[in-house]
Amino acid sequence: MNMKKSWNLRFVLGLLLSLFLEVAAFPQVGLTTGDKIQAQQRSDAGNGFDYGNKSGSALQQLENMTGRQISTSNSNGQQNYQSVSSVHKVSAISANAALQNSIKMQLASGIASAFFSLIFSDNSQNDQKTIEAQRENAALLAQRAEAEKHYSDSISQAKYEKMMQSYKLLNDPKGVQFKALSATSTQFKSLDDPGAPLTMEDKERQNIKKHGINITWDYTSWNGISPGNNSIEEAPLSREDNESDKFLNAAIDKIETFEGGRVAALTGRFMINIKNETMSYLKDASEAATSGNISKMEETGQIDLRKLTSNAIFKTGQQTVNSYIEQGKDFISGELQENNFAAMKSGAQAVLQNFNIFAHVSDDWKVPLKQY
């Protein structure tokens, strides 16, 4: 009974320790395993933590576990690495998970074994030699883990590269291609699917068009097409300029004096700020805009830095699009000679019918005195 309790206690302690050490050890030493090691581990697992091992050193236990003769001389990392790598062979990416699980077990059981040997062995056996052997044991495991990490990293890198091959990068000239275009049917798509339900924005747009603020004309003063003459007649030439005409003439004359060299937006912005003022301001504005006096211009045309940021966003996208266009030209000239945009033969009538654009149009626009 006591023996059973002792086994249970050891098992629980071993499990907890394994879990703890696993978390602590993985980031430092990685994982390791190997077919031979697994086989040995499986055979050792049947023995459990055999008390018989107490009579041997930890080094012997390790040798039993790994099936290898371990040199107690000052071994270098390269030799150990080679010995491990000769055991370890990773043949496929899918084996990675199995390998990791296996090494978890190995690492945990190896360290736990050494730990329990230390706890349950006689004090007489807890000598310098044992400590040294355990240190070597840990070093060997760490080296194996390092080797395993190397393989694990290689697998991860291979996975990453494979994944990246499935992406098309914006700056990769071979990554983006234009879709081939059909010239053999009228089944090309409109900008937006006409059959799709309206988005909130579309609804708002239509609502504004129907009910929003709009120009309203007073038709009472308008001319009508005279009987027998379906022409729009010009107004008499003798008409004197009204205030709007005078303003238009003066403003256009003034704008005509704007010479190049200034930023157009700045000029425009400057002009906007005086739009409701009298013509005398127009002179000052034009002089400021053409003088190159930035501080004078900034008095009315403050540049908002946020706009520069906004424009930078555009700039980035535009460069990409320009690149696409160039790529498309090259690509299409080489690949799509027989399958590009084309005007269809006899397509005109088919489109009228297929798209039903001109079903029946109101006669409202027609001139009343002449039938077509």
Partner 1 sequence: MRKAITYFLSVFYLLFTQSTIAQQKNTLRYEIMLNSNMLEPSLKNDRFISCIDISPNKYITLSTSHKIYILGWGGITQFGKEADSTISSYAFASDGLLMAVKDRELCFMNEKGNLVTLVKLPNASMGIAEGKDVMYLFDQKRNDKGYKLYAFAKGGKYKQILVSPKPVISVIEMTDSLYLAIGSGVFSLSPKDYKLNLVAGFQKESEIKSMTNDPVNNILYVATRDAIYAIKNGSLVYVTSDFGGGIIKYFSNGLIIFNPETYDIIRIVNIDKSIIF
Category of 264 on φ-ψ map: left (φ > 0), alpha (ψ -120 to 50) or beta: alpha
Closer Cβ to partner 1, 166 or 356, answer by number: 356
Closer Cβ to partner 1, 12 or 208, answer by number: 208
Closest approach of partner 1 to the CB of residue 329, in Å: 5
Other beta carbons within 10 Å of 35: 14
Which residue type does 335 have? E
Closest approach of partner 1 to the CB of residue 166, in Å: 18
Which residue type does 106 have? Q
Give the span between the Cα atoms of 22 and 101, in whole angstroms: 11
Closest approach of partner 1 to the CB of residue 9, in Å: 34
Closer Cβ to partner 1, 56 or 347, answer by number: 347
Closest approach of partner 1 to the CB of residue 97, in Å: 23
Give the span between the Cα atoms of 59 and 140, in whole angstroms: 11
Chain centroid offset of residue 264 CA: 36
Closest approach of partner 1 to the CB of residue 317, in Å: 6
Task: Collapse the DSSP code of 245 into the 3-class scheme (helix H, G, I; strand E, B; otherwise coil) and give the result.
Answer: helix
Closer Cβ to partner 1, 122 or 256, answer by number: 256
Closest approach of partner 1 to the CB of residue 273, in Å: 8
Closest approach of partner 1 to the CB of residue 96, in Å: 26
The pair of structure tokens assigned to 210 is: 């129907």
Task: Collapse the DSSP code of 354 into the 3-class scheme (helix H, G, I; strand E, B; otherwise coil) and give the result.
Answer: helix
Which residues fall within 8 angstroms of residue 117, CB to CB, at 6 or more apart? 53, 54, 58, 61, 130
Closer Cβ to partner 1, 70 or 251, answer by number: 251
Q: What is the DSSP string of 258-312?
A: PPTTS-HHHHHHHHHTTTTS-HHHHHHHHHHHHHT-HHHHHHH-PPPHHHHHHHH
Closer Cβ to partner 1, 4 or 314, answer by number: 314
Task: Collapse the DSSP code of 334 into the 3-class scheme (helix H, G, I; strand E, B; otherwise coil) and give the result.
Answer: helix
Give the span between the Cα atoms of 89 and 287, in whole angstroms: 81
Indicate the DSSP class of residue 55.
G
Closer Cβ to partner 1, 131 or 369, answer by number: 369
Closer Cβ to partner 1, 128 or 346, answer by number: 346
Other beta carbons within 10 Å of 282: 19
Closest approach of partner 1 to the CB of residue 351, in Å: 5
Closest approach of partner 1 to the CB of residue 173, in Å: 16
Q: Are 70 and 83 in contact (CB under 8 A)?
A: no
Closer Cβ to partner 1, 78 or 231, answer by number: 231
Give the span between the Cα atoms of 169 and 320, in whole angstroms: 11
